[in-house]
Amino acid sequence: MADPTDQHLPGRPAVRPVRGRSRLLWGAAILILGGAGLGAWHYATGTQAAAQPIIMAPPPVTVSAPLLRDLAGWTRFTGQFSAVDQVELRAQVSGYLTEIHFTDGQIVHKGDLLFVIDPRPYEIQLQQANAQYQTALASLDLTNQQLKRAAELQRRDFESRDVLDQRVQAQRSAQAAVEQATAAIHSAQLNLEFSHVTAPFGGRIGAHQISVGNLVQGGPGATSSTLLATIVSLDPIHLDFDMSESDYLAWRRYQEAAQANGAIDPTVEASLSDERGWARRGKLDFVDNQLDRSSGTIHARASLANPDLLIAPGQFASLRLPTTATRSVFLVPDAAVITDQSNKLVMTVAPDGTVVPKPIQVGPLNDGLRVVTAGLTQADRVVINGLVRARPGGKVTPQAGTIALAASDTSPTRTE
């Protein structure tokens, strides 16, 4: 029986089976089945790989033995510089200011001429004093001659005793007049000298407080003396500071112990606000004789050299004093010290790589390194870098490091 599809219907084209489409359908089915098998194989192999554990190496940390140093104990203070010598230049005679011989703020030396007050009135006074002196000398010479003649006549009984006494009194008055004239000369010379104001010592002069042409007041007859300028010395320079009672006691006991050993050390070390380390040296030259009742502190002072004149009075600086004898201590970076409530700890690494926390007792800082007074040995390996990866009881990979003092430290054998 013939397939109806093979029959030709009137008005419609004949339909023939499409064999190419069937082949495409079979190919697609084969690809789908192959992809599914490949995915199943990848899934199976991936599951097996995930099931296998991945071994990770312990995290690395940097370790080092603590730095052993022989250090002396120092106490740190804040001080302020002041001039050893300071003077206000004031007029000692009255008159018009005629000359100024310096630039504001310059360095002056002892004896340098700074101001000139009109000297002409005092030159005239000196001339008058000299004239009075000559007059007094002439009177004294006359009275000496008269006294000599009166004494000769009285010895021969040609002159009464009263006349001789009068000649003696006149001679003494003339002598007093000479001395008065001499004092007037000295006074005039001194006033003339005061009209030329010079530097009493070397240092830095401030700004002039009065200009040329102004009338200045000074001397015994003036109600007040006119301020001309100020001068401060710079080399050496004082560094003033205050010690608390406890710091003072520690320093005194250290001095007593050092005196018993015959080795008193008055050295202080100072550092300016922009300096690192303790490059400047000085000597403690004054400690007050009593504590201030209101503040409980005692005033002290050190003297420092200032050859480059870098330091000016009024500047602040840090300084430190020796308060304990030299002792051996360990130093570790301050960042390696952990605070656990009131305890201090460092992380150490055992030979098997286990992190072991160690309680320590700490002292002050020494240029970025913390002094450890107890709790460590030279054999300990302290974690100095990678502290966040060091868990107590955990494993780490130690890498060797070094603890060193800062390059700017000029006194590595001391600490505060």
Phi, psi of 224 (to 5 degrees): -150, 160
Same domain, 366 and 221: no
- Residue among 54, 56, 62, 57 at smallest CA distance from 388: 62
C-alpha–C-alpha distance, residues 304 and 282, integer Å = 4
- Tell me whether residue 399 is in a domain: yes
Calculate the alpha carbon distances from 305 to 84, 174, 194, 399 in Å: 11, 58, 33, 46
Q: What is the pLDDT of residue 197?
A: 95
Number of domains present in the structure of the chain: 3
pLDDT attached to residue 35 = 56
221 located within any domain: yes
Are residues 224 and 244 part of one domain? no
Residue 27 lies in a domain: no
CA distances from 107 to 23, 80, 104, 121 (A): 110, 22, 9, 31
11: left (phi over 0), alpha (psi -120 to 50) or beta: left
Whether the per-residue pLDDT at 319 is higher than 80: the answer is: yes
What's the average model confidence in pLDDT over 105-125?
95
| 363 and 290 both lie in a single domain | yes
What is the tens place of the pLDDT at every residue in 232-278? 999 999 999 999 998 899 888 888 877 776 666 788 999 998 888 78
pLDDT in the model for residue 287: 93
User: Where residue 287 sits, what CATH number does that domain have?
Assistant: 2.40.30.170
SS3 281: strand
DSSP state for residue 105 in the 8-state scheme: T
d(CA 205, CA 311): 15
Residue 415, pLDDT above cutoff 50: no
**Stretch 225-238: mean pLDDT:** 95
Q: Are 81 and 238 in contact (CB under 8 A)?
A: yes
Looking at per-residue pLDDT, the higher value among 380 and 265 belongs to 380
Q: Which CATH number characterizes residue 180's domain?
A: 1.10.287
Distance CA 250, CA 293 (A): 19
Residue 385, Cβ neighbours under 10 Å: how many?
A: 16
Answer yes or no: do 106 and 249 share one domain. Answer: no
Beta bridge partners of 95: 216
Any domain includes 20? no
Asked if 214 and 299 sit in the same domain, the reply is: no
What pLDDT score was predicted for residue 10? 47
Q: Report whether pLDDT(23) > 70.
A: no
CATH number at residue 213: 2.40.50.100
Model confidence at 8, pLDDT cuts 50, 70, 90, reads very low
pLDDT of residue 145: 83
Arithmetic mean of pLDDT over the chain = 82
Assigned domain for 54 exists: no
- Cβ(392)–Cβ(405) below 8 Å: no
Domain end point (choices 135, 168, 194):
194
24-78 pLDDT, tens per residue?
555 555 555 555 555 555 555 554 545 556 667 888 989 988 988 877 778 889 9
**C-alpha span between 99 and 337 (Å, rounded):** 66
On whether residue 97 sits in a domain, the answer given is yes
Compute how many other C-beta atoms are within 10 angstroms of the C-beta atom of residue 92.
19
Please give the residue range of the domain that contains residue 249.
67-82+236-415
User: With contact defined as beta carbons under 8 Å apart, do 328 and 70 qualify?
Assistant: yes
Is 407 found in the same domain as 261?
yes
Average pLDDT over residues 150-177: 77
Instruction: Say what the pLDDT of residue 214 is.
Output: 95
DSSP 336-377: G-EEETTEEEEEEE-TTSBEEEEEEEEEEEETTEEEEEES--
With respect to residue 32, please indicate whether it lies within any of the assigned structural domains: no
Domain match, 125 and 142 both: yes
CA distance 220 to 91: 11
Closest by CA to 109, choosing from 309, 302, 361, 283, is 309
Whether residue 46 is contained in a domain is answered as: no
Domain boundary among 141, 169, 194: 194
Q: Are residues 202 and 185 located together in one domain of the fold?
A: no
Query: Which tokens go with 95?
Result: 């008159």
- Same domain (yes/no): 218, 132: no
Same-domain pairing of 184 and 319: no
The answer to whether residue 349 scores a pLDDT higher than 70 is yes
**Measured between alpha carbons, how far is 415 from 50 in angstroms, rounded to an integer?**
57
Say how many C-beta atoms besides its own lie within 10 A of residue 361's C-beta. 12
Whether residue 285 sits in one domain with residue 265: yes
b/e map 115-131, b = 16+ CB within 10 Å:
bbbbbebbeebbeebee
143 plus 176 within the same structural domain: yes
